Structure 1
Amino acid sequence: MKEKVVIIYSGGMDSYTVLNRAIQEGFEAYPLTFNYGQRHKKEIDVASAVCQELGLEHKVVDITAINQLLQGSSLTSDIDIPEGHYAQENMKSTVVPNRNMILLSLAIGYAVSIGATKVFYGAHSGDHAIYPDCRPEFVEKMNAVSQIANYDAVEIISPYLHQSKIEILRDGLEMGLDYGKTWTCYNGREKACGRCGACQERLEAFELNHCQDPLEYED
């Protein structure tokens, strides 16, 4: 029998690569997607389409009720999405308070309930400066807690924790992945805006990998 693992799967580039990497490594993947009231809900539809295509049991969990406690982020509150390069100065407003601790806790509980041994999520080195809950020390401490929080230990795996989005994309391209099946833009419109930090970082990753982004952009 294959080893069961839970993948926190947003529908974005990073988690899409993590999901496919886990599958290629021979794990039985159980993707888990959260609706936490993010503006770019389009990523949830993209995630569902991919899971359906792959024939995976996909859980989409509505946790929007917690949004009333997690104010102050431009991803969940009525605050303008910052534009420009992905840097701490202008992207700090996209931090959702305690998001990954909450999502990981729920994913760990799901893992225990289905007999999965690991939870994967797509933190990477480009997130370290902006998002405290994507830093190595956070992952290490959450992993330590996850080992003792239940009768069954669950390991937290971030396969790209020390790699950049450029390297993540390179790995995915080598796996033959189609990134037209992902959504990155923080604005959930019909086309990606090309101006927000998430779009800028994505476009840079494609440029530095010398290939064309398959998504359509407004600009």
Structure 2
Amino acid sequence: MKTIVICSGGLDSVSLAHLVAEQGALSRLVSFDYGQRHRKELEFATACARRLAVPHHLIDMRGIGASLTGSALTDSIDVPDGHYAEETMKITVVPNRNAIMLSIAYGIAAANGDDAVATAVHGGDHFIYPDCRPGFTEAFDKMQRAALEGYAEVALYTPFVRRTKADIVTEGARVKTPFGETWSCYKGGAQHCGRCGTCVERREAFYLAGIPDPTIYDDRDYWRQAISSREDV
């Protein structure tokens, strides 16, 4: 089965790319520049495509992204510190982002004769991002099958949608994902800040998986405080 992987350059999607490659099904990667402040992640997506020796489609969505206002990922709004499950993290939602990206990925898959589109949405995303939940992915898969009926058969592959970030780290390690060559931080600095929701989640995932975290953080220990404050709620 030829599978295109949506790859942001983050830990989840790069691990997914390596998993699909290990299965012998990886056909290409597709990434999206929607004007995100942490677009440096796209460099890691490009490096992943080179490492796995597959084509890389980098889609310029900056014109669209400029209209998806109100998110700390696209506007001049401070990215909050803390646990991913905090209410404050909803400021990082980019409206309908996954639906838009998936639609484009399905078009690329159909045009190139691919059998599936893979995305690394996972259980840890469900609280904040409605377009990462099983209800959305199942409905989207059904919609796209109708959209391509009689032209192409493309399935949606979401192996992590009901699994945790720690599960992804475990699976990524199994397929030898180079975690140090992935980018998660929402603040887009010289190195991971260690304080934003995705840094806290990343740090926690390695801890729960029992796998050494090679990431360099500005604040390597903040995650413990963030987890503790969440548990006290």
Query: TM-score if structure 2 supplies the norm length?
Result: 0.90
Q: Give, in angstroms, the shift of residue 120 of structure 1.
A: 0.3
Q: Distance in 1 between matches of 2:184 and 2:208?
A: 17
Tell me whether 1:196 sits opposite 2:196 in the alignment. Answer: yes
What SS is found at the alignment partner of 1:29? strand
- The CA deviation at 1:88 is 4.0
Name the CA distance, whole Å, in 2 between partners of 1:163 and 1:82.
Answer: 25
Structure 2 residue corresponding to 1:71, chosen from 60, 69, 90: 69
Q: Is the Cα contact below 8 Å between 1:82 and 1:91 reproduced in 2? A: yes
**Does the aligned pair in 2 maintain the 1:40–1:187 contact within 8 Å?**
yes
Task: Tell me how far 1:29 sits from its aligned partner.
Answer: 2.4
> What's 1:17 paired with?
15
* Cα offset, 1:162, TM superposition: 0.5
Secondary structure of 1:20's counterpart equals: helix
Are 1:83 and 2:81 matched, yes or no?
Answer: yes
SS in 2 for 1:119: strand
In 2, Cα distance between equivalents of 1:68 and 1:203: 31
* Contact 2:81–2:197, Cα closer than 8 Å, also in 1: yes
Q: Structure 1 residues 83-92 or 180-189, which shifts more?
A: 83-92
Which sections of structure 2, spanning at least 5 residues, go unmatched?
220-233
Aligned with 2:66: secondary structure?
helix
Ranges of 4+ aligned residues in structure 1 off by more than 6 Å: none
Count matched residues.
217
CA distance in 1, matches of 2:40, 2:75: 17
DSSP-derived class of the 1:69 partner: coil
Measured after TM superposition, the shift of residue 92 of structure 1 is: 0.3
Supply the distance in 1 between the matched residues of 2:199 and 2:114 (Cα, whole angstroms): 33
Conserved? CA contact 1:6–1:119, under 8 Å: yes
Q: Which residue of structure 2 aligns with residue 99 of structure 1?
A: 97
Q: What does residue 182 of structure 2 align with? A: 182
What is the CA–CA distance in structure 1 between the aligned matches of 2:110 and 2:124, rounded to whole Å? Answer: 30
How far apart are the structure 1 equivalents of 2:48 and 2:160?
21
Contiguous gaps of at least 5 residues in structure 1:
none
Cα offsets for 1:96-138 (capped at 9, x unmatched) = 0000000000000000110111100011011111100000000
